[in-house]
Structure 1
Amino acid sequence: MALTPSTKVLAGIFAVSGTVHLVKPEFYTQIMPSWVPAHREVILGSGVAELALAVGLLAPQTRRVAGWGSLALLVGVYPANVKMAVDSTRTRNTGLKAAAFGRLPLQWPMVKAALRAAREG
């Protein structure tokens, strides 16, 4: 099946985000929920997972499993995104607040794209 635009975008987002996870893991440390153990290892592992999912979404043979994996990853990291939004309320940085809260609804189109990729395989 042909690669849809939403799958391409999702793969691109995962490629960029995965790279940042590996190159600047400290960026993500501050948004990790306290109940998640081994923050650095989880951050690096999720970066590797995002890169693997990006590649998997692009290949027809692995798109279905990468779509389901993408969905699982998006659901799994959502608590960190919520924490970042809540924590941003303690700052006067309006840009940070806007970015933190703005990314929450942006997760839903990514979830839709992951589901589409999983179903279309």
Structure 2
Amino acid sequence: MTAPSRARVAMRWLMSAFYGGAGLLHLVRPDGFLPIVPAWVPEPRMVVIATGVAEILGALGLLVPPLRKAAGLGLALYALCVLPANIKHAAEGIVLAGLPSSWWYHAPRLALQPVLIWGTLYAGGVIDWPWRQEGKVKLG
């Protein structure tokens, strides 16, 4: 197995574990996420539960070859869509049990959001960067 292949497999398992765990938290403790849901989101509790289900399904999808690309793309879009909640959490200094409330936590978390998006796209085989062979572009 080549280094890029090993990296993709490792990223796949890492992203699957991350999103599976986060999804379970959304289902087990949905009320804990409510303070960071933007006011314009309808039915916040139901949205938190639905996002938990989406995270779990995406995590499982990363592990199923025919679903892998769709799961990677879906989780990347999900990470983009929850950015307003992460911004609200940071900008309003909302305290959530078990999480730090300082910018030493929020700044890296926000800065790493693009890395999380890349990670799901890479794990799902949607993109090859940074291991794409020169001169070759993989479109499918």
CA contact (8 A) 1:66 1:118 kept: no
Q: 1:36 to 1:8 in 2, by over 3 A?
A: same
In the TM superposition, 1:53-68 aligns within 5 A as 53-68=58-73
**Deviation digits for residues 46-76 of structure 1 (CA, Å, limit 9, x no counterpart):** 0000000000011111101001101110111
Q: Distance in 2 between matches of 1:100 and 1:19?
A: 22
Quick one: higher RCO (CA 8 Å, sep 6+), 1 or 2?
A: 1
Higher radius of gyration, 1 or 2: 2
Shift of 1:118: 4.2
Q: Distance in 2 between matches of 1:101 and 1:113?
A: 19
Residue in 2 that maps onto 1:48: 53
In the superposition, the TM-score normalised over structure 1's length comes to 0.87
Shift of 1:106: 2.0
Structure 2 counterpart of 1:119, one-letter code: V
Q: Distance in 2 between matches of 1:40 and 1:110?
A: 24
In the superposition, the TM-score normalised over structure 2's length comes to 0.76
For the residue of structure 1 that corresponds to 2:112, the secondary structure is helix
CA contact (8 A) 1:31 1:80 kept: yes
CA contact (8 A) 1:7 1:114 kept: yes
Structure 2 counterpart of 1:76, one-letter code: C
* Number of equivalenced pairs: 117
Structure 2 counterpart of 1:13, one-letter code: F
Residue in 1 that maps onto 2:131: none
In the TM superposition, 1:4-43 aligns within 5 A as 4-43=9-48
Q: CA RMSD in A?
A: 2.1
**Deviation digits for residues 54-102 of structure 1 (CA, Å, limit 9, x no counterpart):** 0001111110100110111011101100000001189xxxx31232333
Residue in 2 that maps onto 1:112: 118
Name structure 1 gaps, 5 residues minimum: none
User: Would you tell me which structure has more helix in proportion to its own residues?
Assistant: 1
Q: How many percent identity over aligned positions? A: 32
For the residue of structure 1 that corresponds to 2:65, the secondary structure is coil
